[in-house]
C-alpha cells in the first residue's frame, strides 16, 4: 500500500479491461443471500462465502530490480581533482558545481498483491508494485509460481496490467463499484507484511475520496485493515465480487491506523481495456482546472470575501484550458458544474471518475450554473494533445534509425562517458530533423541516455504527452555539440 501522512510512499513491501468477467456463481449467490437472510437482526453478514470466493483470485507478486550502473550528478568536491575513483566513476567537473559519477545501485526486492481478472492469466495490480521491475514472479493461492510480463501501466491512476501463461485460472467476478454504498461490508484480500492470503473485514467508510496522490482518483475508503503488501489486492463485496483495487493507506507510522483506499472498478475497467487494446490509456480531457465548491468558498472566506455561487455542491471552474474541450463548449471561469450526463456531481473526484471512463471524441452533457442560472452544454472530450485521435505509444521504429552504445574508444576520444551513436538512418523522424549517421545522442528531453532501452522509454513517454517532441542534445564525431527537435506527431 501507499501510505499517506505528510508524504506518500510506495506500498509494496520494500526493505526499504476487453476485460474478462468470470461467470457469476448463481448457486453461490443464492447461498449468500440465504445466509444474509438468516443472520440475526443487527449482526454482521456472514463473510465466509466472500472470503472463499475471492481468495483463489488474489495472487502474491514478487518484484526484483537488478543491480545497475547509473550515471548521476553529485556536488563537486574541491579535493576530487586530486584523487581518482577506483571504479572509474569520476567524470570531471560539470556545470553548476556538479560532477557526473557512476554508481552501482543495490539489488532491490519487494512484494505486493494482484487480482486475476481472466482465466487466461491477466492480472491487475498497482503501477507502483511493478514500476521498474526487471523480474516479476506471481505466486497463486495454491503456491504455483509463474513469471509475469507487463502488458501496460498507468501512473495517472496507479494501475498496471500484467500477464502470466495459464488456463482455467480462478478469475474473480467484477462488480460495478458504483453500486456499493457507504456502510456496506467489504473484505480486503492480499498479502500484507509477508502474511500471504490474508483477509480483513470492514465497511465502506466513504466514496469518491480525493487525496492528491494520483492524477486521476476517486477512491473507495474503507476501514478494513490493510498494510504494506496489500497494494494491488482485492476489495470485494459480501458476494466475493471485486469492487476495487487496494492502493494506499492513511498512516503516520507506515502501518494501518484506520483507513485504506481502493481504486474503484469503474476506473479499473477502462484502464485495463485500453491497455489491452492500445497499449496505453486513451485519456479524455475536459479541459478545466477547479476545485470542490465548498473548498473554494472556504478559501475565499479565509481571505475575508463572502461568495454566493448559488450552491455549496459541485465543481468551481477556476481555469479553462485554451482550445480545450470545455473552452470549445463555452464553459468559462467562475462557472459551477453540478451534473454530468444528468447525474449529479458534488465534488471533483466524482467528475474525474466519470471522465475516466470516457475516451477522446466521446461527448458528455454538462449542467452548470453561471451567475446562479442553470445552463447545459454538450462537450466533446479531447486527448492531452488537444484532438480526438487515438494516442498510441511510439516505438523506436518511428525514428527510422538504428543505435548502439558508444564504445570505450569513442568515450576516450570525445571525452564523454555515455551516449548512443546513430549507426544508420532510413526514412523517419530522425532524417526529417537532420540527424544522420555518426551523431551521438547524450540527452533527450533533458534526461541522460546511456542505453537503447532508456531511449525507448523516453520515446514512449513523449509520444503520449501533451507535447510529443524529442529535444535531443548530442555531438558529432568531431566533438561539435548540436541540438535538434524531433516531433513525434504528424
Q: Is residue 25 a part of any domain in this protein? A: yes
* Domain contains 298: yes
| For residue 354, pLDDT beyond 70 | yes
Count of CB atoms within 10 A of residue 106's CB? 11
Inter-residue contact 222 to 239 (CB < 8 Å): no
Cα(323)–Cα(352) distance, integer angstroms:
20
Q: Which of 7-21, 123-137, 276-290 has the lowest mean pLDDT?
A: 7-21
Domain final position from 247, 277, 307: 277
Measured CA to CA, the distance from residue 295 to residue 172 in angstroms comes to 38
Residue 14 has pLDDT above 50, yes or no: no
pLDDT band with cut points at 50, 70 and 90 for residue 76: low
Point out which residues pair with 113 in neighbouring strands: 60
Q: Could you tell me where the beta strands, DSSP code E, fall in 130-258?
A: 135-139, 145-147, 149-154, 159-163, 185-190, 198-209, 219-222, 234-236, 242-250
Look at residue 31 and tell me whether its pLDDT is greater than 70: no
Q: Are 329 and 413 part of one and the same domain?
A: no
Report the candidate in 384, 412, 278 with the shortest Cα–Cα distance to residue 321.
384
In the numeric block, which cell numbers belong to residue 82?
A: 586530486
The answer to the question of residue 432 being in a domain is yes
- Per-residue pLDDT for 264 more than 90? yes
178 and 114 in a single domain? The answer is: yes
| Whole-number Å distance between alpha carbons of 446 and 73 | 13
Domain assignment of residue 352, yes or no: yes
Q: Count other C-beta atoms under 10 Å from residue 285's C-beta.
A: 19
pLDDT score recorded for residue 160: 96
Instruction: Look at residue 8 in the predicted model and tell me its pLDDT.
Output: 39
**Mind listing the pLDDT tens digit for each residue in 375-412?**
999 999 999 888 888 887 777 888 888 998 999 989 98
pLDDT class of 488 with cuts at 50, 70, 90: confident
Residue 386 lies in a domain: no
Regarding whether 305 and 174 lie in a shared domain, the answer is: no
**Do 204 and 295 belong together in one domain?**
no
Most confident of 66-75, 360-369, 402-411: 360-369
Does one domain contain both 418 and 470? Answer: yes
The three-class DSSP label of residue 19 is coil
Q: Residue 21 belongs to what domain range?
A: 2-63+110-277
**Judgement on whether residues 180 and 36 belong to the same structural domain of the protein:** yes
Please tell me the total number of residues recorded for the chain in this structure.
490
Residues 430 and 481 in one domain: yes
* H or E segment and range at residue 73: strand 69-75
Whether the per-residue pLDDT at 5 is higher than 60: the answer is no
CATH number of domain containing 17: 2.40.10.120
Secondary structure class of 10 (helix, strand, coil): coil
Give the residue carrying C-alpha cell 446562479.
372
Write phi, then psi, for 466 (nearest 5 degrees): -65, -30
Find the mean pLDDT for residues 228-253: 91
Query: What integer best gives the mean pLDDT of the chain?
Result: 84
As a whole number of angstroms, the distance between CA 139 and CA 58 comes to 9
- Specify the residue for cell string 498483491: 113
Please report which confidence band the pLDDT of residue 419 belongs to, taking 50, 70 and 90 as the band edges: very high
Per the CB < 8 A criterion, the answer to whether 428 and 402 are in contact is no
Q: Mean of the pLDDT values across residues 249-265?
A: 82
Question: Does 166 map to a domain?
Answer: yes
- Give the pLDDT band (50/70/90) at residue 10: very low
Cell 511510439 identifies what position?
394
Whole-number pLDDT of residue 92: 40
Contact, 59 vs 115, CB < 8 A?
yes
Query: How crowded is residue 250: how many other Cβ atoms within 10 Å of its Cβ?
Result: 18
The pLDDT confidence band at residue 90, using thresholds 50, 70 and 90, is very low
The last residue of a domain, from among 316, 351, 380: 380
317 compared with 19, residue with greater pLDDT: 317
The cell numbers describing 470, all together, are 524529442
pTM of the full structure: 0.75
70 φ/ψ angles, rounded to the nearest 5 degrees: -120, 150
CA 219, CA 158: separation in Å to the nearest integer? 12
Catalytic pick from 154, 158, 273, 274? 158
Torsion sign over Cα 24, 25, 31, 34: positive
Annotated active-site residue 231? The verdict is yes
* 342 in any annotated domain: yes
If asked whether residues 257 and 312 sit together in one domain, one would say no
Q: What is the pLDDT of residue 23?
A: 30
The answer to whether 489 is a known catalytic residue is no
- Which of the four pLDDT bands, split at 50, 70 and 90, describes residue 212? confident
Q: Tell me, what's the pLDDT at 449?
A: 92
Q: What is the C-alpha separation between 223 and 186, in angstroms, rounded?
A: 9
Range 46-71 average pLDDT: 90
Please indicate, yes or no, if residue 389 is contained in any of the structural domains: no
Pair 260, 314 in one domain: no
Considering the domain architecture, whether residues 411 and 376 belong to the same structural domain is answered as: no
Lowest mean pLDDT among 33-37, 61-65, 287-291, 478-482: 33-37
120 is catalytic: no
DSSP-assigned beta bridge partners for residue 61: 112, 138
Mean pLDDT of 200-216: 91
pLDDT in tens, 450-487: 998 889 889 888 888 888 899 999 999 988 999 999 98
Residue 12 above 90 pLDDT? no
Q: Does the pLDDT value for residue 346 go beyond 70?
A: yes
Shared-domain flag, residues 56 and 74: no
CA distance 208 to 185: 17
Q: Is-contact 326 289, C-beta < 8 A?
A: no
Query: Contact at 8 Å (CB) between 6 and 212?
Result: no
Task: Please say if the pLDDT value at position 146 is more than 80.
Answer: yes
Tell me, yes or no, whether 58 and 79 share the same domain.
Answer: no
Q: What is the dihedral of CA 408, 412, 415, 420, to 10 degrees?
A: -20
Domain tally for the chain?
4
Write down which residue in 231, 247, 277 finishes a domain. 277
Mean pLDDT (whole number) for 202-214: 91
Q: How many CA atoms lie within 13 A of 102 on its CB side?
A: 15
Lowest mean pLDDT among 83-92, 103-112, 167-176, 363-372: 83-92
For residues 222 and 262, the answer to whether their CB atoms sit within 8 Å is yes
Nearest to 357 by CA among 276, 284, 465, 261: 284
What is the domain-level CATH number for residue 455?
2.30.42.10
| pLDDT for residue 1 is more than 80 | no
Q: What is d(CA 271, CA 294) in angstroms, rounded to the nearest whole number? A: 30
Is the confidence at residue 38, as pLDDT, over 60? no
> Measuring CA to CA, which residue among 61, 346, 74 is closest to residue 209?
346
Amino acid at each position: 500500500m501507499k501510505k499517506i501522512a505528510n508524504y506518500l510512499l510506495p506500498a509494496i513491501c520494500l526493505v526499504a479491461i476487453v476485460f474478462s468477467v468470470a461467470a457469476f456463481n448463481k448457486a453461490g449467490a443464492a447461498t449468500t443471500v440465504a445466509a444474509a437472510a438468516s443472520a440475526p437482526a443487527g449482526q454482521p453478514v456472514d463473510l465466509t462465502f466472500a472470503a472463499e470466493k475471492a481468495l483463489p483470485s488474489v495472487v502474491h507478486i514478487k518484484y526484483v530490480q537488478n543491480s545497475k550502473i547509473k550515471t548521476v550528478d553529485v556536488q563537486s568536491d574541491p579535493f576530487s581533482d586530486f584523487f581518482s575513483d577506483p571504479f572509474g566513476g569520476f567524470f570531471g567537473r560539470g556545470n553548476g558545481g556538479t560532477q557526473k559519477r557512476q554508481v552501482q545501485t543495490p539489488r532491490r526486492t519487494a512484494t505486493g498483491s494482484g487480482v486475476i481478472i481472466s482465466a487466461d492469466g491477466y492480472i491487475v495490480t498497482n503501477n507502483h508494485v511493478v514500476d521498474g521491475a526487471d523480474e516479476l514472479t506471481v505466486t497463486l493461492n495454491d503456491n504455483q509460481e509463474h513469471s509475469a510480463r507487463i502488458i501496460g501501466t498507468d501512473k495517472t491512476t496507479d494501475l498496471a496490467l500484467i500477464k502470466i501463461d495459464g488456463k482455467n485460472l480462478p478469475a474473480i467476478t467484477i462488480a460495478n463499484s458504483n453500486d456499493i454504498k457507504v456502510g456496506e461490508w467489504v473484505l480486503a484480500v492480499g498479502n500484507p507484511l509477508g502474511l500471504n492470503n490474508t483477509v480483513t473485514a470492514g465497511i465502506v467508510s466513504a466514496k469518491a475520496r480525493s487525496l492528491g496522490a494520483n492524477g486521476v482518483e476517486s477512491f473507495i475508503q474503507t476501514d478494513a485493515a490493510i498494510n504494506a503488501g496489500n497494494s494491488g489486492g482485492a476489495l470485494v463485496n459480501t458476494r466475493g465480487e471485486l469492487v476495487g483495487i487496494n492502493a494506499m493507506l492513511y498512516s503516520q507510522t507506515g502501518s494501518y491506523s484506520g483507513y485504506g483506499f481502493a481504486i474503484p472498478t469503474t476506473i479499473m475497467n477502462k484502464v485495463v481495456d485500453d491497455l489491452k487494446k492500445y497499449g496505453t490509456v486513451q485519456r479524455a480531457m475536459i479541459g478545466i482546472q477547479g476545485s470542490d465548491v465548498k473548498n473554494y468558498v472556504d478559501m475565499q472566506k479565509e481571505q475575508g470575501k463572502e461568495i454566493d455561487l448559488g450552491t455549496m455542491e459541485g465543481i468551481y471552474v477556476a481555469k479553462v484550458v485554451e482550445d480545450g474541450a470545455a473552452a470549445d463548449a463555452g464553459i468559462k471561469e467562475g462557472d459551477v458544474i453540478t451534473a454530468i450526463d444528468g447525474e449529479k456531481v458534488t465534488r471533483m473526484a466524482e467528475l474525474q471518475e466519470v471522465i475516466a471512463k470516457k475516451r477522446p471524441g466521446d461527448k458528455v452533457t454538462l449542467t452548470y450554473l453561471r451567475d446562479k442560472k442553470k445552463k447545459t452544454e454538450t462537450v466533446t472530450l479531447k486527448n492531452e494533445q488537444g484532438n480526438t485521435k487515438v494516442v498510441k505509444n511510439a516505438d523506436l521504429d518511428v525514428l527510422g534509425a538504428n543505435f548502439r552504445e558508444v564504445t570505450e574508444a569513442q568515450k576516450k576520444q570525445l571525452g564523454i562517458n555515455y551516449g548512443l551513436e546513430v549507426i544508420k538512418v532510413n526514412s523517419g523522424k530522425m532524417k526529417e530533423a537532420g540527424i544522420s549517421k555518426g551523431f551521438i545522442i547524450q540527452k533527450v528531453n533533458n534526461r541522460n541516455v546511456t542505453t537503447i532501452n532508456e531511449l525507448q522509454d523516453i520515446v514512449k513517454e513523449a509520444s503520449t504527452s501533451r507535447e510529443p517532441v524529442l529535444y535531443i542534445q548530442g555531438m558529432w564525431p568531431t566533438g561539435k555539440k548540436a541540438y535538434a527537435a524531433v516531433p513525434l506527431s504528424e
